[in-house]
Structures are given as structure tokens and as C-alpha cells.
Amino acid sequence: MHQQTGSQLPPRQPGGDPGRFELAREAVRWRSERVVTQEGDDLGHEMRFSIIETSEEISAAHRPVVMITSNNEKELPDAFLRRCIFYYIEFPDVPLMRRIIDVHHPNLDAKLLDQVLIKFYWLREQNELRKKPSTSELIDWINALIRSGISMDKIETHIPFIGALLKKEQDVDALQKYDTQGGRYPKNWEDLGPRYNQ
């Protein structure tokens, strides 16, 4: 997207609509209700917004379509939500996750792919975890496993580099306690039940 200080953006043509362009923001973290409502008004009515850190002002020649993603870490104010159309995205199932991984790690060894998915979805089912691992953490974990050259035997019997998946100290402690008490990590899809049976 072309940006110029104090200038207008050239119109884009998403979906064949020549009079619109899309302004997408990933994982927006609003600092206060005033910022949310003010910036929403700026985008919706004045069709512009400012980047405080760079002193830039971005304006649109045509009414923008604004897409905002949220991970629910912080509640957004009602005044802002009234301006939104809400769409909930389900967490990816195993077939979709395989496609996502293939984008980031094409031609990944089939046995490694099975093992990381088995461990990943098993972890997400553990109620003791305060923060379940997400898709981005799975991608990072696979990268760590590939770079380390760790053996498949260790991946089957353990969960190496757990810090790539679990970001809370309490969650890491809970998993270590499970391991030291002789807990058995799943090796096959059958261990996770019929819905994961590949």
C-alpha cells in the first residue's frame, strides 16, 4: 500500500469494486476508549487516521473497508463495537492446519508433521494450561525442531523446545510435573480419540 504524509491513497480494486480499498490492521491493541472511538470516527467519517509515532496522516480517496482482528486479550468498548460487524473464526481443525503449515514449511517430513500436530492438539486439550498454544507458536516450534535436527524418537516420547509453545511459566511447570510423574505423551492419533484419527 502506497503511503504519503498528508496525501491521499490511490484507490485499490479488491473483489472487482473499483471505488473501494481495504485497510487491514492485525491484532489491534487499543490503549483507551477515547482512542478507539476517536480513531473509529476518523476512519468512518473523515476517512483518515494519524500515526502518532511517525507524525504521518493517512487519508483515503474513497470510503475504506476496515478489518480489525482481536485475540480477546483486552475488551473493546461498546461504543466501538456498535460500529462493527462481528465474525468469529473457528480455530483451525487438523486438515486446515496441515494446509497452513504447508504454506510456511512446504515438503515437511510426513512423520514430523504428524508428531507436531499430535502434540500440539494434545496440549490444547489440557485444561491446566492458562494460555493454549496458537497457530503462530506451532509454526515457530516446527522451525525450531527443523533447525535443531532433533531425532524423531525424542519428538515421539517428549515435547522438545516446549518454550516455543508455552509462554506462561505456570504452564511449563504443569507440563514438567506431568513428565516427572511418568505422564505418557501421545504418539498416535488414536491416542487422542476418534476425532483426531487420521
Average pLDDT across the chain, whole number: 76
In a shared domain, residues 145 and 189? yes
In this prediction, residue 61 carries a pLDDT of 78
Strand ranges for the chain from DSSP E: 8-9, 22-25, 48-51, 56-60, 65-68
Q: In which band, very low, low, confident or very high, does the pLDDT at 142 lie, cut at 50, 70 and 90? A: very high
In a shared domain, residues 133 and 179? yes
In a shared domain, residues 71 and 139? no
* Structural domain includes residue 45: yes
Q: In which band, very low, low, confident or very high, does the pLDDT at 85 lie, cut at 50, 70 and 90? A: confident
Instruction: Compute the average pLDDT of residues 38-47.
Output: 57
Rounded-to-integer distance, Cα 153 and Cα 156, Å: 5
Chain center to CA of 156? 26
* Structural domain includes residue 124: yes
* Structural domain includes residue 87: no
Instruction: Compute the average pLDDT of residues 118-132.
Output: 90
Pick the more confident residue, 79 or 108. Answer: 108
Name the CA dihedral angle for 102, 106, 109, 114, rounded to a multiple of 10 degrees.
-10
CB atoms within 10 A of CB 127: 5
In a shared domain, residues 125 and 186? yes
Residue 168 in this model has a pLDDT that exceeds 80: yes
In a shared domain, residues 108 and 71? no
